[in-house]
Structure 1
Amino acid sequence: MPETAASAPQAQPFRASIMQIEPQWIDYNGHLNMAYYNVMFDRAIDQLWAELGIGPTYMKERHGSTFTAECHVRYLREIHLGDPVQILVWLLEADDKRLHTFEEMRHASEGWLSATSENMSLHMDMNSRKVAPFPPDISERIAAVTKAHSAVSRPEGIGRNVAMPSKR
């Protein structure tokens, strides 16, 4: 996938390529092990980052990258070997150094929701390994995608926290 900005961003979440579950990712419960949900979410984010121009080429040529600062995954329905998976990504908010994303993992042919992941990523200057502002051209791309994604209805689950159910 070329690491260039696509034409005008669409008012829809980013759709990652359809992925397959790898056999070694299935745990003793017979479903996708929780660690590999993160692998698949990360692969989808890598695809979006490449579209934004902040993927591996950016790191190599411009010495910038992103690090995940926070992640909240919800496991909603089991995924099994043989289930095709597609991840949708919303770029919810961004500032000069951070990206707030929300991802849905869906069964690619049946459409049901398996898991969600909400993340905060930090832009890093890889020479200093410190948080740094995005370059202006990248900020413009991010702003355009964030604006396009803001026109789409927000999925359920954004901003959830981990807590015991309240007793009433």
Structure 2
Amino acid sequence: MSKRLALYRATTRPDWLDYNGHVRDAYYLLVFSHAVDALMERIGMDAAARERSGHTLYTAEAHLRYLREIRQQTALRVDGQLLAHDAKRLRLHLSLHRDEEADAAASCELMLLNVDGRQGRSAPFSTPVRQSLDALARQQAGLPWPEDCGRRIEMI
């Protein structure tokens, strides 16, 4: 059965709050960044693999949407969907949820680039990582495309 990956869980902290008592905007991206780290673990790019290969993921682009308020001491969950991938890149959609709510409090669409840090440039994924990405794409093939993907900022 196709499903989004449960990638990361956290609870908001007092130092994340702004002057309105809401989670400060930067911490949304921090939580999404931790979810990317968890995805890296799942696809074979854990710390040991990064040390051996010198490869890691760089964020090339991010589109973050704030949909609902998040306050102090809120349990959070981030789910992920691999939208597309090729030899060097992956496109990922992440949704941030309050506790067990179905509706997202925020979403983030990311373009991630595989980089060989030793060479200082983009590089193809290793065969095992590519196979993991292919398997994940097959697993999630039946998922609907998230409605907020590919959006741009505009005044309507």
Residue aligning to 2:27: 36
RMSD: 1.2
Question: Could you state the TM-score of these two structures normalised by the residue count of structure 1?
Answer: 0.88
Residue aligning to 1:5: none
Unaligned runs of 5+ in 1: 1-9
The count of aligned residue pairs is 156
1:135 Cα shift? Answer: 1.2
Residue aligning to 1:46: 37
Distance 1:110 1:75 in 2: 15
Give the letter for the 1:19 counterpart.
A
Give the letter for the 2:49 counterpart.
Y
1:151 Cα shift? Answer: 1.4
Unaligned runs of 5+ in 2: none
Distance 2:117 2:144 in 1: 35
Identity across the alignment (%):
29
52-61 or 93-102, which deviates more: 52-61
Counterpart of 2:115 (choices 124, 128, 136) is: 124
Residue aligning to 1:139: 130
1:150 Cα shift? Answer: 2.1
Give the letter for the 2:144 counterpart.
S
Residue aligning to 1:85: 76
Q: How does 1:155-166 map to 2 (within 5 A)?
A: 155-165=146-156
108-117 or 42-51, which deviates more: 108-117
The answer to whether the aligner puts 1:108 opposite 2:99 as a matched pair is yes
Counterpart of 1:71 (choices 62, 67, 77) is: 62
Question: Could you state the TM-score of these two structures normalised by the residue count of structure 2?
Answer: 0.95
Q: Deviations over 1:23-53 (max 9, x none)?
A: 1110112101110000000111111110101
Counterpart of 1:149 (choices 122, 134, 140) is: 140
